[in-house]
Each structure stands twice: as structure tokens, then as C-alpha cells.
């Protein structure tokens, strides 16, 4: 922890932060005071330390107490047409790389927490320091973005803080919008520190002390969350004054709630339900995304230790059939592990080739495979896609046993501890730069890579990509293609379907365009 006077100087690598709000929906009524949101599930806690997969994304993206946000554009149509790579200020007024590339200088807005405390540099420093203790993935994410995790922040003055870098990477600034990087009201939070809980995590898991602009009226873990707008917050928001979020696991019930108007926002449906919903008094946002639904393999033992077996399973999967069947045509069959690199070899659907590879690996008659999945992530579609995959793999003699993981929290634990043979999952793109999303599940020591696979050549290429400026497109494409070739050949983590960001919103409610990670920002509702 350092505090030093600010030394003025030329600023290099400036990222301009748009001052505009997220797009307004034209032709919609925005005067609705209370909005009810029906979701597949809610997390067991309000911090990242009880991570509940997509359920936590809903809450942390929705509250939005991060320094930056993706700038979705001037209109809903623009925001929906393509994923945003540009950022704007949320809690930050500006964020700029300093002259020598050793820190990002952040200027803070004049905002007030639910407890009446002003947003300060001390809040940012405390939140980042404790956040790394609260959740190891946050530390890994910061480290992968070039931050000095051993000395993360330097307070310059009350409204200026420097986030210290070891190496400035292409996504060091844009990464600050990630929903793990919450900024808390440290003055209030530290009142609830105990000997056993020195970072007040237990208290923050069930209370709000942040700069989201919302007060907590009630919270029942995994069940319901009720928020009211804080009139003293000081930021920009829509007309909505109260938000009620209910966990409604049954898709038919969620559909009935939003169709009848009892809920105004909903997500996580079976894909074939969207066509029916579009005929009622709702609009279906089907926006471009970079996310992928995937299947991971544990490569440490058994047949999956042999990459020929993994390659055979990939070849046996008919991704177009998955899109047409389980996804009702919404999405595209993945052509490779990553949604880029047109020069890299594409996935092939080749049943006979898959059988040949299995025989070469010593499994001419196939083997038994346990495929785990949960409906929290990638969502209800997993029930259909898992059955289709089971049928497709049976064609090459692989006998698939389907294992359902009931809760979102359990699914996250299974993922992080590698307690699976094969696992259906989803990778929402929380940072749009490929140098980031090629990290978490693929780099050898990345916190979410529990597959057992790693490759030093890939790890170095990923570092090279992160160090290459985004405007050097030719060099980045060369690196990305080489990275794709390595992970596609390893076949430890298969992309199945490139998904779109889809949600359902009442025609009477403006706002609610999905963020880049597919979730909505609550303060956009009613704009």
C-alpha cells in the first residue's frame, strides 16, 4: 500500500471514456416505478466469494459498482448489432495509462453509498486488496491483465487513485469493467470486520455497501432480492425506483410470468420458447455476443488423457444439429475453440474419422463417459444439448452417463476443483479482448483451468497477444491463429455453440439492452 503526491506529466495510452449513458429504447414507456425480474437462479451471496456462475453475473452486472462499463452505443439497435469493445466511466470519471506505463490513473466521480459515505480512493484500494482475498479468480484476473497484485493501488488524493501495473497489457484498462471488480464503501464495510472475517465478507455477502445506487430492502440467498433506488446516490439512472428479482427455476413459470406482465424482465429460457414469447406483449432482445457454450474434459486420467480420444469426441459432435435442435436455430455452430482466427483449421464433423481415432487410441469399442451439466450454466438448454450429445457420441461407441448438478454454487465448485470427467459449461465474455478470454480456462496456471491441460508455447503466445497493441491487427491475428491451432489440437476444452445474448423485456419498459456479458445493468431500466 502506497500513498504519494501526484506528479503531473504527459499521459500515454489514454482511453477516452464516453460520457453518454447506455442507449435508450425508442418508443417505449419509461415511467414504470417497480420492475420485477424473473431469473433462473440467484447466488448464495452478494459478493464474488460465493460465486454462483450466471446467477452471480446477474447480480454483480446488474448492480454495477465497477469503475468502468462497456459503452453500448447511442441506440439499442447499435448496441445489439455487435459486442462492444469500447469502455466508458461508471464510478470513474476517467482512466488513463500514465506516461511510463506503470499505472492506470483513475479519477473518481462524486457518488454516495447507501450509508451516506462519499466514493473515495481509499474505497478503491480497500476493495481491490480485499477482493483478491475474497476471490482467487479476481487476483488471477488482475495478474493476467498486468496489474501488480502485491501492490495493487496507490492513493494520490481523495478522488485520484493509481492502479499499479507490472506490464501494461492491451486490456488492462478495459478489464476494469469486469463484474468481479466491485468497489465497496470501505468506511461502512470495515465496521463489520471481525477477527475471523478481516475483510467483512460475511457481512457484505448479505448487505449492500457499494456505489451501485441501490439500497437493499431484502435478500433471501438463492431466492429473492429486493432493491430500492437511493435518491442521494448522485449517478444517472432511469425511472425505475424499485427492483424485485425472483429466482424462478422453472422455464414455463418464468414464461407465464413475463407473458402475463407479472414480471417485466426475464432470461434463461429454453430457446424454442423465445418464438412464442415474441408473440406476446414483450420484446425479445437477441443480440450479438462473443460467448460460447463449451464442453470441458478432465485430461488427468482415463481415456481422456489421450488427446486422440478428445479429438474423436469433438469430431463426433454435430454442432449444427445442436444449434438446430437444442438452440432452436439461435446461435451458430462453433468453428473452433475461440470466436476468431478465420485462418485456423475449423472443427470437422466426421463420425468415421472419430471411430478411427478411437481405435488408434486403443478404444475400438468405445468407453463409458460421465457428462456433467447444470441448468444454471449454460442454462436450461443443457438438458436438451446433453441428450443430443449423448446420442451423437453413441454413434462412435461412447456410452454417456448424464449427471445433473443441481445448484449453481455446486457447479462452480465442481468446475474449479476439476471434479468431472466431462462438463458442459458456458463462457460469457466479461472482457471482450481475446487476450483476456483466452486466459481463464486455457493458460496452464489460470484459476479456472482445472482440465489438467497446459502448454508452455500457448502460455507464451497469450502473453505476446496481451502485450501487442489492439491497433496492430496483423500481428494480433497471427498470434491468435497460432493460439487457436494449439488449443484446437489439444481438444481439452471444446467450443460447441457461439451463443447470442438473449433476454425478454416488457414492451412497456425501456432500457435493458444486454451488456457484453449478456446481463442487464439495473440503472438502465426505465431510460
| Sequence spans of domains, the chain | 2-251+502-524, 292-499
The pLDDT of residue 291:
87
Cα 401 from Cα 455, distance rounded (Å): 30
The pLDDT of residue 448:
85
The pLDDT of residue 141:
87
**What's the pLDDT tens digit per position in 375-411?**
888 988 999 999 999 999 999 999 999 999 987 778 8
Task: Show the cell assigned to 179.
Answer: 463484474
List CB contacts of 46: < 8 A, sequence separation 6 or more: 59, 204, 205, 206, 207, 208, 219
In contact, 520 and 265? CB cutoff 8 Å: yes
List CB contacts of 284: < 8 A, sequence separation 6 or more: 274, 277, 278, 502, 503, 504
Cα 255 from Cα 503, distance rounded (Å): 11
**What's the pLDDT tens digit per position in 25-36?**
433 344 579 999
Query: Is there a shared CATH topology between the 2-251+502-524 domain and the 292-499 domain?
Result: no
How is domain 292-499 classified at the architecture level of CATH? Roll (3.10)
**DSSP state letter for 198:** T
List CB contacts of 478: < 8 A, sequence separation 6 or more: none
Cα 88 from Cα 78, distance rounded (Å): 16
Residue spans of beta strands (DSSP E) within 323-475: 332-333, 368-373, 399-404, 422-427
The pLDDT of residue 342:
64
**What's the pLDDT tens digit per position in 4-33?**
332 222 223 444 444 334 444 433 344 579
How is domain 2-251+502-524 classified at the architecture level of CATH? 3-Layer(aba) Sandwich (3.40)
The pLDDT of residue 497:
95
The pLDDT of residue 341:
64
Model confidence at 358: pLDDT above 60? yes
Q: How confident is the model at residue 344 (pLDDT cuts 50, 70, 90)?
A: low
**What's the pLDDT tens digit per position in 290-342?**
889 999 999 999 999 999 999 999 999 999 999 999 999 999 999 999 987 66
**What's the pLDDT tens digit per position in 171-228?**
999 999 998 999 999 999 999 999 999 999 999 999 999 999 999 999 999 999 999 9
Q: How confident is the model at residue 362 (pLDDT cuts 50, 70, 90)?
A: very high
Structural element, H or E, at residue 3: strand 2-3
Which phi-psi region, left, alpha or beta, contains residue 234 (left: φ > 0; alpha: ψ -120 to 50)? left
pTM of this structure: 0.81
How big, in percent rounded to 5, are the helix, strand and coil portions of the chain? 30, 20, 50
The pLDDT of residue 106:
98
Q: Give the mean pLDDT of 363-384.
A: 93
**What's the pLDDT tens digit per position in 441-478?**
999 998 789 999 999 999 999 999 999 998 999 999 99
**What's the pLDDT tens digit per position in 133-173?**
998 789 988 998 999 999 999 999 999 999 999 999 999 99
Q: Give the mean pLDDT of 508-521.
A: 86
Which phi-psi region, left, alpha or beta, contains residue 501 (left: φ > 0; alpha: ψ -120 to 50)? beta
Q: Give the mean pLDDT of 79-106.
A: 92
Phi and psi, residue 401, nearest 5°: -105, 120
* Tally: H helices and E strands in the chain: 16, 21
The pLDDT of residue 427:
81
Better-predicted residue by pLDDT, 22 or 496: 496
Query: Percent of the chain scored above 90 by pLDDT?
Result: 70
Q: How confident is the model at residue 343 (pLDDT cuts 50, 70, 90)?
A: low
Closest CA to 379 of 38, 36, 83, 39: 39
Cα 297 from Cα 442, distance rounded (Å): 12
Model confidence at 487: pLDDT above 70? yes
CB burial of residue 513 (10 Å; 0-12, 13-18, 19+): buried
Closest CA to 431 of 98, 131, 68: 68
The pLDDT of residue 16:
42
List CB contacts of 232: < 8 A, sequence separation 6 or more: 112, 116
Q: How confident is the model at residue 229 (pLDDT cuts 50, 70, 90)?
A: very high
Structural element, H or E, at residue 427: strand 422-427
Structural element, H or E, at residue 38: strand 34-39
CB burial of residue 304 (10 Å; 0-12, 13-18, 19+): buried
Cα 267 from Cα 269, distance rounded (Å): 6
Q: How confident is the model at residue 111 (pLDDT cuts 50, 70, 90)?
A: very high
- How do beta strands 422-427 and 368-373 pair? parallel
Q: How confident is the model at residue 2 (pLDDT cuts 50, 70, 90)?
A: very low
The pLDDT of residue 72:
83
Q: How confident is the model at residue 518 (pLDDT cuts 50, 70, 90)?
A: confident
Cα 404 from Cα 428, distance rounded (Å): 21
Model confidence at 45: pLDDT above 80? yes
CA distances from 334 to 120, 157, 262 (A): 44, 48, 36
Largest Cα span, the chain: 70
Other beta carbons less than 10 A from residue 291's beta carbon = 23
**What's the pLDDT tens digit per position in 417-437?**
999 999 999 987 778 889 988
In contact, 424 and 372? CB cutoff 8 Å: yes
**DSSP state letter for 177:** G
Cα 123 from Cα 375, distance rounded (Å): 36
Phi and psi, residue 186, nearest 5°: -70, -30
CA distances from 491 to 179, 296, 315, 448, 494 (A): 29, 9, 10, 16, 6
Average pLDDT, the chain: 90
Amino acid at each position: 500500500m502506497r500513498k504519494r503526491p501526484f506528479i503531473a506529466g504527459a499521459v500515454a495510452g489514454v482511453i477516452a471514456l464516453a460520457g453518454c449513458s447506455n442507449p435508450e429504447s425508442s418508443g417505449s414507456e419509461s415511467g414504470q416505478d417497480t420492475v420485477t425480474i424473473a431469473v433462473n437462479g440467484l447466488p448464495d451471496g452478494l459478493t464474488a466469494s460465493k460465486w454462483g456462475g450466471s446467477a452471480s453475473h446477474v447480480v454483480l452486472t446488474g448492480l454495477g459498482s465497477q469503475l468502468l462499463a462497456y459503452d453500448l452505443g447511442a441506440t439499442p439497435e447499435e448496441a445489439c448489432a455487435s459486442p462492444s469493445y469500447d469502455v466508458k466511466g461508471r464510478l470513474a470519471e476517467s482512466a488513463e495509462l500514465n506516461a511510463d506505463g506503470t499505472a492506470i490513473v483513475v479519477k473518481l466521480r462524486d457518488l454516495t453509498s447507501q450509508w451516506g459515505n462519499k466514493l473515495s480512493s481509499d474505497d478503491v484500494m480497500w476493495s481491490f486488496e480485499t477482493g483478491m482475498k475474497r476471490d482467487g479468480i479476481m487476483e488471477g484476473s488482475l495478474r493476467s491483465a498486468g496489474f501488480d497484485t502485491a501492490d495493487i493501488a496507490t492513493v494520490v488524493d481523495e478522488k485520484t487513485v493509481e492502479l499499479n501495473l507490472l506490464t501494461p497489457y492491451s486490456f488492462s484498462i478495459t478489464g476494469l469493467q469486469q463484474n468481479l471488480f466491485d468497489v465497496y464503501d470501505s468506511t461502512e464495510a470495515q465496521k463489520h470486520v471481525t477477527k475471523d472475517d478481516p475483510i467483512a465478507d460475511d457481512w457484505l455477502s448479505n448487505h449492500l455497501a457499494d456505489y451501485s445506487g441501490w439500497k437493499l430492502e431484502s435478500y433471501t440467498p438463492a431466492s429473492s432480492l429486493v432493491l430500492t433506488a437511493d435518491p442521494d446516490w448522485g449517478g444517472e439512472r432511469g425511472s425505475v425506483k424499485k427492483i424485485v428479482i425472483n429466482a424462478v427455476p422453472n422455464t414455463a413459470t418464468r414464461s407465464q410470468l413475463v407473458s402475463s406482465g407479472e414480471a417485466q424482465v426475464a432470461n434463461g429460457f429454453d430457446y424454442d420458447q423465445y418464438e412464442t414469447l415474441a408473440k406476446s406483449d414483450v420484446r425479445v432482445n437477441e443480440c450479438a455476443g462473443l460467448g460460447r457454450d463449451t464442453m470441458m474434459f478432465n485430461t488427468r486420467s482415463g481415456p481422456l488423457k489421450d488427446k486422440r480420444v478428445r479429438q474423436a469426441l469433438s469430431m463426433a459432435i454435430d454442432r449444427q444439429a445442436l444449434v438446430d435442435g437444442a438452440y432452436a436455430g439461435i446461435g451458430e455452430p462453433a468453428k473452433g475453440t475461440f470466436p476468431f482466427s478465420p485462418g485456423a483449421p475449423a472443427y470437422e464433423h466426421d463420425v468415421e474419422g472419430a471411430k478411427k481415432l478411437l481405435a488408434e487410441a486403443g478404444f475400438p469399442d468405445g468407453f463409458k463417459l460421465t457428462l456433467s451439466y447444470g441448468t444454471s450454466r449454460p442454462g436450461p438448454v443443457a438438458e436438451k444439448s446433453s441428450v443430443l450429445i449423448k446420442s451423437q457420441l453413441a454413434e462412435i461407441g461412447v456410452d454417456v452417463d448424464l449427471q445433473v448438478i443441481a445448484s449453481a454454487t455446486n457447479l462452480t465448485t465442481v468446475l474449479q476443483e476439476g471434479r468431472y470427467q466431462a462438463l458442459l459449461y458456458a463462457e460469457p465474455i466479461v472482457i471482450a479482448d481475446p487476450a483476456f478470454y483466452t486466459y481463464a480456462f486455457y493458460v496452464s496456471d489460470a484459476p479456472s483451468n482445472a482440465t489438467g491441460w497446459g502448454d508452455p508455447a500457448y502460455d507464451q503466445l497469450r502473453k505476446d497477444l496481451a502485450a501487442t497493441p489492439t491497433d496492430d491487427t496483423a500481428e494480433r491475428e497471427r498470434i491468435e491463429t497460432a493460439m487457436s491451432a494449439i488449443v484446437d489440437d489439444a481438444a481439452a476444452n471444446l467450443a460447441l455453440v457461439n451463443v447470442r445474448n438473449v433476454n425478454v423485456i416488457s414492451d412497456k419498459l425501456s432500457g435493458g439492452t444486454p451488456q457484453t456479458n449478456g446481463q442487464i445493468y439495473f440503472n438502465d431500466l426505465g431510460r
